[in-house]
Chain A
Amino acid sequence: MEQYKHFLQEKAALTPEEIESLTSSLQSKTFRKGEFLLHAGEVCAYAFFVEKGLLRSFTIDETGKEHIIQFGPENWFVTDRSSAYFSEPSDFSIEAIEDTTVVLIDAAFISRASAAYPHFMRFNEKALQNHIRQLQKRINLLLSATAEKRYLDFIRLYPDLTLRVPQWMIASYLGITPESLSRVRKELAKNNFKPH
C-alpha cells in the first residue's frame, strides 16, 4: 500500500493523516504471472493501482487474435472505466504479465474521498481528463501514424517495457504486425547504431 499512499501524497496533495483515514479500508492483492484480474463479460468492480509488477488489458477478436488496449506498470491504473462506472459487462480482460501487487480501488472509495477532500476531487477530475487526452491521442495514432511514429511514442510513454514484454505484445498494442515492429527497430538501429 505504501506506493499508493506515496502516489496520493504526491499527485493529490493529501496529507499523511488524510491518506491514513482514506486508505485504511483499502485492500491490496497479489496476482501471479498469468492470473486474470478481470475476464471479458464480467463487470469490472475496481480500478487496479499497480504497486509492483505489470498488467495488460486486452480484447480477443472473432479470429482469436489478441489486441492489447493498455499496459499497466508501476504507478499506473488499469481498469475498464465504463464497466466500473456503468456497471456493465466489460469487453476487456485484465491479466498480470509479471507477478503483480495491486491496490483495489472501488467506486465507493472515490465517492468517499471526493466528498471528504475537495483536492482529491480535483485530482480525480484531472486524472479523468488526462485519461481522455491519452485515449484521444491513441485513437489518432492508431488511425493516422506510421508504425515508426507509433513505436517512438510507445518508448516515450513506456520506456522500460521493451525490456519487460515480448515483441508480439508491443506489436499488438501498436496495432502493427511483429514483422513491422522488427522493421522499425531495424531501421532505427541502422540510423542510430555507431559501433565503438
Chain B
Amino acid sequence: MKTRSIEVIVPPPAPHYVGDGFRVHNFIPNGYHLDRHRMTPFIMMDYNSKFVFPPSEQPKGVGVHPHRGFETVTLAYKGKVAHHDSAGNSGVIGEGDVQWMTAASGILHKEYHEEEFSKTGGAFQMVQLWVNLPAKDKMSKPKYQGLTHAEIKTFQLPDNSGTIEVIAGQYQDVKGAASTFTPVHLQNAKLNKGGKADFNFPSHYNTALLVIEGSLKVNDTEVAETDHFVLFENDGEAFTIEALENAVVLVLSGEPINEPIAAQGPFVMNTRQEIVQAIDDYNQGKFGYLD
C-alpha cells in the first residue's frame, strides 16, 4: 500500500455570509480553485468556523431556496439549526448530528438557527457539503436521512487514541448508516492528544481533511492547524494523522463522478439546458411551496 501524499494545506479563505446566519469559509469550489471536478463528488464545501453569535429574538439563517441535482450534507459541531422543507419535513440538527438531504429532482427548504439557540446565542460551528449525484439519479425522489449523534456508529481506536465516527462509508469493520448513491466516506475522527489513526481509501478517490478542532500531524511530516483544509494527491491509498492536541477532524473521500457539470446557484446538473429547465420549474412552482 502506497502512502497518499499531501497536495496542499490551506488556511480558511475570507468568510462571507450565507443569509444572515451562516458565516462561512468556502473551500470548494471558490476558495483555492478546488473546482467541482477536482474534488468530485464533493462539489461544494462551506465551513462555518467556530463563531459566537450574539442572542437574537429573530432567528438568523437562510430563507426559502431550492436545490436540484445533488445532496446537501449538514454537520453540526456547535449550535443548532432548524430546517423546514416543501415536502412538509422539519427538524433540528443539533451538536454531533448530521443531516443528509437528497435534493435530487427538487426541494425547497430554509435553514435557521434553532429558536432557543438563537435566543441565548453562543458558539456556532457547522459544515455544509454538497455531494453530487450521477446523471441517472439527479431526478430521483428527494429524501432525508437524519442521523443523530447517538445513531452514528463509532470505531474505538486502540491505545486510547480516540474514536472514528463513521457517517458514511466504512472504517475498519464499522459501516456508516448513511446510504449514498456513489461510494462516499465521511467520518469524524475525534482524537486525544497523541492519538493516531490510519486511513486507507482507493487512490483515485478524491480525499481531504478539515481540521475542526486542535491540530494534526499528517503522514508524520506536515502540521495542519485548526480550520485548515488538507488536500491529498491521488497517488496512494494510505495516510496517517496524529493529534498534536485533542482534535476533531472531518475526513472526506469519494469516488469521482466523471460527468459534465453545469451549475448555477442552487442547481447542479449536467447540461446548461437542464439548468434552464430547473430555473423554469422553480419559477413555475414545480418545486412546491414553502412560506
Which A residues fall within an 8 A CB radius of B? Answer: 155, 159-160, 162-164, 166, 182, 185-196
Q: Which of A155, A164, A185, A194 contacts B289 (CB 8 A)?
A: A185
Q: Which of B141, B264, B282, B291 contacts A182 (CB 8 A)?
A: B291
Q: Is B65 an interface residue (CB 8 A)?
A: yes
Identify the interface centre among B66, B141, B279, B287: most chain A CB within 10 Å of its CB: B279
Q: Is B137 an interface residue (CB 8 A)?
A: no
A-B contact pairs, 20 of them (CB 8 A): A155-B283, A159-B279, A160-B264, A160-B265, A162-B282, A162-B283, A163-B66, A163-B265, A182-B291, A185-B285, A186-B289, A189-B86, A189-B286, A189-B287, A190-B289, A192-B286, A193-B288, A193-B289, A195-B288, A196-B141
CB distance from A71 to the nearest CB of B (A): 15
CB distance from A99 to the nearest CB of B (A): 11
The residue on A at minimum CB distance from B106 is A196
Q: Which of B87, B279, B284 contacts A192 (CB 8 A)?
A: B284
Determine chain B's interface SS by DSSP, over half rule.
loop
Q: Could you list 14 further interchain pairs (A-B, Cβ under 8 angstroms) beyond the known A185-B285, A186-B285, A196-B142?
A: A155-B283, A159-B276, A159-B283, A162-B283, A163-B65, A163-B266, A188-B284, A189-B86, A191-B285, A192-B286, A193-B289, A195-B87, A195-B288, A196-B141
Q: Is B246 an interface residue (CB 8 A)?
A: no
Which B residues fall within an 8 A CB radius of A? Answer: 63, 65-66, 86-87, 105, 140-142, 264-266, 276, 279-280, 282-289, 291
The residue on A at minimum CB distance from B63 is A166
A189 touches B105 (CB 8 A): no
Residues of chain A contacted by B105 (CB below 8 angstroms): 196
CB distance from A195 to the nearest CB of B (A): 7
CB distance from A97 to the nearest CB of B (A): 15
Query: In whole angstroms, what is the CA distance A112 to B265 when docked?
Result: 39
The residue on B at minimum CB distance from A188 is B285
Determine chain A's interface SS by DSSP, over half rule.
helix
Query: In whole angstroms, what is the CA distance A187 to B105 when docked?
Result: 21
Identify the interface centre among A155, A160, A185, A186: most chain B CB within 10 Å of its CB: A160
Residues of chain B contacted by A187 (CB below 8 angstroms): 285
CB distance from A180 to the nearest CB of B (A): 14
Query: In whole angstroms, what is the CA distance A163 to B282 when docked?
Result: 9
CB distance from A139 to the nearest CB of B (A): 24
A193 touches B283 (CB 8 A): no
Residues of chain B contacted by A195 (CB below 8 angstroms): 87, 288
CB distance from B275 to the nearest CB of A (A): 9
The residue on A at minimum CB distance from B64 is A167
Query: In whole angstroms, what is the CA distance A185 to B265 when docked?
Result: 20
Residues of chain B contacted by A190 (CB below 8 angstroms): 285, 289
B265 touches A193 (CB 8 A): no
Residues of chain A contacted by B276 (CB below 8 angstroms): 159
Residues of chain A contacted by B66 (CB below 8 angstroms): 163
B285 touches A192 (CB 8 A): yes
Query: In whole angstroms, what is the CA distance A160 to B66 when docked?
Result: 12
Residues of chain A contacted by B279 (CB below 8 angstroms): 159-160, 162-163
B282 touches A164 (CB 8 A): no
Residues of chain B contacted by A164 (CB below 8 angstroms): 265
Query: In whole angstroms, what is the CA distance A163 to B86 when docked?
Result: 16
A189 touches B289 (CB 8 A): yes
Query: In whole angstroms, what is the CA distance A160 to B282 when docked?
Result: 10
Query: In whole angstroms, what is the CA distance A164 to B65 when docked?
Result: 10
Residues of chain B contacted by A186 (CB below 8 angstroms): 285, 289
Query: In whole angstroms, what is the CA distance A195 to B199 when docked?
Result: 41
Query: In whole angstroms, what is the CA distance A166 to B284 when docked?
Result: 17
When A159-B280, A160-B264, A163-B65 are in contact, do A193 and B291 touch as well, CB less than 8 Å? no
CB distance from A184 to the nearest CB of B (A): 9
Query: In whole angstroms, what is the CA distance A164 to B265 when docked?
Result: 9
Residues of chain A contacted by B264 (CB below 8 angstroms): 160, 163
CB distance from A196 to the nearest CB of B (A): 4
A193 touches B286 (CB 8 A): yes
